[in-house]
Structure 1
Amino acid sequence: MTTQNEKSQNMQIGLVGLGKMGNNMRSRLKRAGIDVVGYDTNPAVSDVATLADLSAALQAPRIVWVMVPAGKITDSVVTELAGVLEKGDLVIDGGNSRFTEDFKHAAQLAETGIDYMDAGVSGGVWGLDNGYGLMVGGTAASVERAMPIFDALRPEGPRAEGFVHVGEVGSGHYAKMVHNGIEYALMQAYAEGYELLDTRSDIIKDVTGTFKAWQRGTVVRSWLLELLVRALEEDPEFDNIEGYVEDSGEGRWTIEEAIANAVPVPTISASIFARFVSRQEDSPAMKAVAALRQQFGGHSVKAVD
């Protein structure tokens, strides 16, 4: 009987996009014994010079994971892959594409017999050591084919606690969209609590310690809370961060889907609107959100002049 480790040893994958997450994913896959051929527009980190070279370096039938910014860049990569891959190959979009884009990309690749999957990936810059939460959409056959890759990327422990085959194409990115909408709301709640505690310095003498004491035994404990404590220990008053927070799109898409389906999401809606407020004037709460985004995802922050 073939073990999971033996399956990984026999796997090969092409990885397009070697940025913060992509490069860490390459390292984690290699640790599991998977042969990774990486391509990036930055020649300093790329294994091959072009996507055509990437295709040539992989044995058919190929699996190519795309980990580039959503939108025009993903469109360009998928279009180019459609021209250099062959029937029976599989493309997995692991970026933050909108689920409606998956329908378009799947149809585009299907014209030449190339299979397609979408994978929502959570874990940020910590995924290298902790593993990545994975939500995938596609056929059962494609999932089974790529499972050694998913098992290498997901956290240790029961598969069902770090990986889910959500449904058909588009469902993985849909689940990740909702995941990020929830994430927005959780971050905002912690941030508002921080501002209230920080405001009452006449009563609260240890804001960082208060949050730290919530890490065990309380109902609000979470990994985000741990990251907030880490950020506070590095900069207790967030003196080096402006309260300016961007959004990557999923929060907006979640609200749009909620409106389209008449589902009330007042908390998620409030969190995205709070980010818009952050771009107008500085706010202690938004400094906390900015610090959290930097901690879990390595997102850039605006430094105070």
Structure 2
Amino acid sequence: MASFAPSPADVADIGVTGMAVMGSNLARNLARNGFKVAIHNRSVGKTETVMDNYASDGEFYPSESTADFVASLQKPRVAIIMVKAGGPTDAVIDELAGLMDSGDIIVDAGNALFTDTRRREAALREKGLHFVGAGVSGGEEGALNGPSIMPGGTKESYDRLGPMFEKISAHVDGVPCCTHVGADGAGHFVKMVHNGIEYADMQVISEAYDLMSKALGMGASEIGDVFAEWNKGDLESFLIEITAEVLHHTDSTTGKPFVD
């Protein structure tokens, strides 16, 4: 059973349901930035874990039930979903929608197919609810310390979400890595394109490694030096950086390069 009492009503600025690592880190990011955050998970144990380990990060309002979670949100309510794509997302949306009022906002911050997001947005619009598909990039560390956020949906919904999302996002030269990218499924469409570019980059990196290793006979550490040098110029990127780090890593047992 839950070790916390039901949260008071109408208190949280925003809520996150789904307390796996991405959801819990996003909730912690929001709390660290001064927002009052309602948290919820289908199995209450994960909510308890967040409260046991990270309550000092900020102001959390945990709930055991979905009804209590929704009730704890200030109106117009904002609830972020961070659960598995597909059926689980639809189930959570249906449950939230049945408890929310016209003008409330549901945000799917997971990796959804943009056509699913379009379908969900149209269905919830008929009920007077805003549905926002938001691509979130940066992985677990980004969710905690500053992701890139790509929200779709209506301009009206972004007027409500923008100040929060821009504050918790990564910043480059003082500019937040967050903007309204377009209507209905645009956020998840942009995230799909982002992922395609990232996977293409990874393929290029792997081919460069293969050429240096097999054609030029270079060792892992030597190739790592090349990637590290590339990362000082126009090719600077997180993927190049971590490739160099991996290639420089040695196995503690064998003393050989980790990639061999």
- For normalisation by structure 2, the TM-score amounts to 0.81
SS, match of residue 41 in structure 1:
coil
For 1:56 and 1:156, how far apart are their aligned partners in 2? Answer: 33
Choose which of 198, 201, 210 in structure 1 pairs with 2:226. 210
Q: Structure 2 counterpart of 1:215, which letter?
A: N
Question: In the alignment, does 2:20 pair up with 1:19?
Answer: yes
For 1:203 and 1:148, how far apart are their aligned partners in 2? Answer: 49
CA contact (8 A) 2:14 2:74 kept: no
CA shift, 1:75, in A, is 0.9
Aligned to 2:152: 137
CA contact (8 A) 1:11 1:148 kept: no
Question: In the alignment, does 2:236 pair up with 1:221?
Answer: yes
Choose which of 63, 66, 72 in structure 1 pairs with 2:81. 66
For 1:203 and 1:59, how far apart are their aligned partners in 2? Answer: 59
SS, match of residue 63 in structure 2:
coil
Structure 1 stretches lacking a partner, 5+ long: 1-9, 240-305
SS, match of residue 174 in structure 1:
helix
Q: Which runs of 4+ in 1 moved over 6 A?
A: none
CA shift, 1:48, in A, is 1.5
CA shift, 1:200, in A, is 4.4
Deviation string 1:141-186 (CA, Å, 9 cap, x unpaired) is 1101111221232113467551121111111111111110001100
In the TM superposition, 1:31-180 aligns within 5 A as 31-46=32-47, 47-128=62-143, 130-157=145-172, 162-180=177-195
Structure 2 stretches lacking a partner, 5+ long: 1-10, 48-61, 251-256
Aligned to 2:259: 238
For 2:64 and 2:187, how far apart are their aligned partners in 1? Answer: 30
> How many pairs does the alignment contain?
229
SS, match of residue 150 in structure 2:
strand
Aligned to 1:253: none
In the TM superposition, 1:247-266 aligns within 5 A as none
Q: Structure 2 counterpart of 1:34, which letter?
A: F
- For normalisation by structure 1, the TM-score amounts to 0.70
Q: Report the CA distance shift for 1:212/1:135 in structure 2 as closer, same or farther (over 3 A).
A: same
CA contact (8 A) 2:228 2:244 kept: yes
For 1:182 and 1:189, how far apart are their aligned partners in 2? Answer: 11
